[in-house]
Chains A and B, each alone.
Chain A
Amino acid sequence: MKYTTFSREQNDALKEPMFFGNPVNVSRYDQQKYPIFEQLIEKQLSFFWRPEEVDVSKDRIDYQALPAHEQHIFISNLKYQTLLDSIQGRSPNVALLPLVSIPELETWIETWAFSETIHSRSYTHIIRNIVKDPSTIFDDIVLNEEILKRAEDISRYYDDLIDATRQYQEYGEGQHSLANGETIDISLRSLKRKLYMCLMSVNVLEAIRFYVSFACSFAFAERELMEGNAKIIRLIARDEALHLTSTQHMLNIMASGEDDPEMAEIAIECHAEATELFRFAAEQEKQWARYLFKDGSMIGLNETILCQYVEYITNVRMQAVGLPKAFETSENPIPWINTWLSSDSVQVAPQEVEVSSYLVGQIDNSVDVDDLSEFTL
């Protein structure tokens, strides 16, 4: 399977697997093997937003009045999110497009990655507004130990897949001795395994890694602080939920074996490794919470609550891809976050919205988990 930008193969795209079949030739959407990816594209397009539409000017005053330890929380989260979206804005394209074989999935990947570039641009919008010299923040992303630790664990799966794909396309399957004396063993199966684990790792990234930061942003806004930022984060969270759904679909289609029977075997083989990937990421995020609150908590959130939330959300996400829960926690310790994550009240013209006033009304109406003692699901 050598990559070409327009395969002359007169293939039937409805019979191609999602990945590792013929490269896509005609971008057509009148027929789809998996209509879900076309639906995701439509949904993502309907979510389109531009950072500049959100007025963040009041945030500057709020930010200056924050105590130093809360400024640390705010800025550190922005840095971490900038890292995550830097990776997500390019990696799905670079790693997945050379392998994809059906047009609706190819276009979903491109649409997905494009929306990540909007997220990245929104961080510049936010940062430019609150500090005079954005470089003081951006430059630290490649220096900050806490962020670098995470960068390594997130980019590794993508880099592995990209490298293995390159070797596979250059040499093909089998044993090869390279000019430098090294021998490499290339198999399609091991490449498929790398793809599966890469998708699992992306799923983890979008399932848990953003949520500590989301929670802090919304906790500020609950106090009517940094509301422009919260408005943007809310739009980002809405996109991320969609991205997460897309990798859940890919992983579950793979595990079912309906698309490529070998992928079902690989899903079983990778079960323990995938479980560990989730658990490890959750631990890393809990450490991140510790780092955020090292000089003090913020009103409405502390390390314990945030760690419980990470565990809760990890369990929910694991079950969605057929993995057993990693933690005991079954209750959401910050149910108010759901109001911010629900799309009912996300407005497309955000500048028209008095964020705090209409949100406060919403939060009063929201259901408190503690009240719900009669039945539990």
Chain B
Amino acid sequence: MTDKTDGKRPWVFIQGQQAFQFDPQQHDSLLEAMEAHKVAVHYECRSGYCGACRTTTLDGEVEYQHQPIAFIRKGEILPCCCTPTRDITLVRD
């Protein structure tokens, strides 16, 4: 299969609303993109080990540059160290 991000900018949905398109050329992580699009998100370490940015997803898929060590459950992601590989829906806990 080809890389899903090839020439593509996945959409990020928040609470069912279409929020923004993630541009891997511009942002290294989903957290950076969320900040640039004025989406409030908790963070502390920004490196995948504290868990403060833990966010629930309804659907979608992300990929981690490095395996994070913070605890996450199924369906949760750490925006500080991942990028979406296809359209993704984030929800409030």
Q: Which residues of A contact B (CB under 8 A)?
A: 36, 39-40, 43, 238, 241-242, 244-245, 248-249, 252, 316, 319-320, 332, 338, 341-344, 367, 369, 371-377
Contact = CB atoms under 8 A, between A and B. Distances in A.
A248 B54 CA distance: 13
Contact of A375 (B14, B52, B67): B14
Given A245-B69, A320-B71, A343 B39 contact: no
A40 B69 CA distance: 7
B56 to A, nearest CB: 9
B88 to A, nearest CB: 13
Contacts of A344: 46-47
Interface string B17-46: 101000000000000001101111111111
Nearest to B35: A367
Given A375-B38, A376-B92, A377-B39, A241 B69 contact: no
24 contacts: A43-B49, A241-B44, A241-B45, A241-B49, A241-B50, A245-B69, A248-B51, A248-B70, A252-B71, A252-B73, A316-B52, A320-B51, A338-B43, A341-B50, A342-B45, A342-B46, A372-B39, A374-B39, A375-B14, A375-B17, A375-B19, A375-B40, A376-B39, A376-B40
Contacts of A252: 71, 73
B26 to A, nearest CB: 16
Nearest to A375: B39
Interface centre among A338, A374, A376, A377 (most CB of B within 10 A): A377
Nearest to A237: B44
A377 B49 contact: no
B42 A332 contact: yes
Contact of B54 (A40, A241, A249, A320): A320
A371 B38 CA distance: 7
Given A374-B38, A377-B55, A245 B49 contact: yes
B89 to A, nearest CB: 12
4 tightest CB-CB pairs across the interface, nearest first?
Answer: A372-B40, A241-B50, A341-B44, A342-B46
B38 A342 contact: no
B45 A341 contact: yes
Contact of B93 (A40, A248, A249, A319): A319
Contacts of A249: 71
Given A36-B69, A43-B69, A320-B71, 4 more contacts: A242-B69, A252-B73, A342-B45, A374-B37
A341 B69 CA distance: 17
B5 interface: no
A293 to B, nearest CB: 24
B82 interface: no
A375 B15 contact: yes
Interface centre among A241, A332, A369 (most CB of B within 10 A): A241
A338 B14 contact: no
Contacts of B71: 245, 248-249, 252, 320
Interface centre among B14, B51, B70, B71 (most CB of A within 10 A): B71
Contacts of A338: 43-44
